[in-house]
Amino acid sequence: MLNRLQVPTDVAFLIVLWRPRLKLSLRDLAEILLLRGMVFSHEAVRQWEAKLAPLLTNALRHRRRGTAGRSWYVDETYLKVGGRWCYLYRAIDSDGALVDVYLSEHRDQVAAVRFFRSAVEVTGRTPDTITTDKHAGYALLWGLNPGHPTVLPTALDRSGFSAGSTVVAKPLLGREGSNVSIATLDAAGFPVGQPIAQTEGLYVDEGWVYQAFTPLAEADGNHAVFGVWMAGDKACGLGIREDRAPTTGNTSRFVPHVIASA
């Protein structure tokens, strides 16, 4: 693979590393090294990049094994790669160190699960806590724990629910309780008639996440939802959100609790 290099091997690797690190063009690199007495064309840099970049990538991924913390912060962004728009999934730990990245043509549950499997494989660690961006994390949680008794079935589209299912639609990036609707689906996955319940809001263009409906606990006309903070298999805290409406919102009454060790 490294036969016929015009420069020492370590210099070729350094040139390939400079390109993404310093955001230099192929011609920039050729000109910079020309000032140091090394003569080669930008096409040579292109060939070195094709051969050496995968080796650098694998080496850097291998060095991350066992170094990431167990608290991960995850998000995704939309960027253009080689003239094509892609979704970049990325995660860092609580110290800001890179956990892993993953490029996908689609922003869906399959891509999210692949990203997390890759991150666990690269780091050799399973995180205790994951902080995600808004409601999309619910679909990821279900994808990683299908059938779990404390996780509601959730997806980024309605096709995964059978006819007659009652589903809660939530905006991917909405605030608590905004633009939430509850409806029963037909065989094609579309709502039947008017929503059972619906809230207003400003979040209508970010996409949706769909979650199986479970009625909230009700007492004296108040509806309550219980949220548990988990670290691995250990419950660390409990939040109770209560409202007169069947969907709790950003202004609902909220009481946090801490679960102390016995």
Q: What is the reported pLDDT for 166?
A: 93
pLDDT exceeding 70 applies to what percent of the chain? 90
The burial class, CB within 10 Å (0-12 / 13-18 / 19+), for 82 is exposed
Q: What are phi and psi of 35, to 5 degrees?
A: -65, -20
Q: Identify which of 25-29, 72-76, 199-203 has the greatest average pLDDT.
A: 25-29
CB-CB contact of 117 with 171 (8 Å):
no
Q: What is the mean pLDDT of residues 113-117?
A: 89
H/E stretch holding 71 reads strand 71-81
pLDDT band at 183 (very low <50, low <70, confident <90, very high): very high
Q: What is the reported pLDDT for 175?
A: 67
CB-CB contact of 171 with 208 (8 Å):
yes
Q: Quick: pLDDT tens for 156-179.
A: 888 879 899 999 998 877 667 788
Q: What is the reported pLDDT for 184?
A: 92
Average pLDDT, the chain: 82
Torsion angle defined by CA atoms of residues 103, 108, 109 and 114, in that order, rounded to the nearest 10 degrees: -10
Q: What is the reported pLDDT for 258?
A: 67
Neighbour-count burial for 135-168, b at 16+ CB within 10 Å, e otherwise: bbbbbbbbbbeeeeeebebbbbebebbeeebbbb
H/E stretch holding 205 reads none
CB-CB contact of 172 with 117 (8 Å):
no
> For residue 255, what are the β-bridge partners?
240
In whole angstroms, how far apart are CA 15 and each of 4, 7, 58, 114?
A: 16, 10, 17, 31
Q: What is the reported pLDDT for 203?
A: 73
